Copies of this chain bind each other. A is one copy, B any other.
Amino acid sequence: MKSAMQPASPDNFSPATQALLDRAEGLCTRQGARLTQQRREILGLILDAPTPVGAYDLLEQIKSPERKPAPPTVYRALDFLLEHGLIHRIEKLSAFVACTHLLHNDHAHDCAHDHHHDDMCLHTAQFLICRSCKNVTEISTPAILDAVRATCRAEGFVIQSASVEIEGLCAACAQKRPAPAHAH
């Protein structure tokens, strides 16, 4: 009677989440890395969260009567997930979200290298952050990335990573609470 409402702690993830975790594991294996239980759990919690999660939120969530992990446990897992492109850090929020490449089942099975290889190696990502509902949407607009690349080429700047964080109101929230047309 309660199995459906269990907290998602020690691997009580939904089948959908498990499927994503399995995909992530595949990605890691191909990179010669291991998605351990610990990392899998952290990634699962991030996947299931409706909005970006802070490191200390995760820390609380993985605590149990038997296990009282310390911050490094979480940060190490986060570092791993970041390095392997499974999650992103939203700088403005000091919080973490799953990479959409992982989430989008569209071209499911061998999506492993479906996204542009460039984009991966550049650790590039773009986010729309809603200040009202706290939802964060990862977008992949070639136009923005192209503009960034063009600028860097012009400056002779060698890009290693680029992040675009746009704060404001998402379409849904903008309707409910439209931005005041401020006079000046």
Q: Which A residues lie at the B interface, using CB under 8 A?
A: 91-92, 126, 128, 130-131, 137, 139, 141, 143-144, 146-148, 150-152, 155-171, 174, 178-179
By DSSP majority rule, is chain A's interface helix, strand, loop, or mixed?
A: mixed
Residues in B with CB closer than 8 Å to A167 are 159-162
Q: Is the CB of A157 within 8 A of B170?
A: yes
Could you say which residues of chain B place their CB within 8 Å of the CB of A139? 151, 155
Contact between chains at B164 and A148 (CB < 8 Å): yes
Of all chain B residues, the one with the shortest Cβ separation from A145 is: B147
Cα of A138 to Cα of B146 in the assembled complex, Å: 18
B161 x A162 contact (CB < 8 A): no
Contact A156:B143 (CB < 8 A) given known A162-B164, A164-B164: no
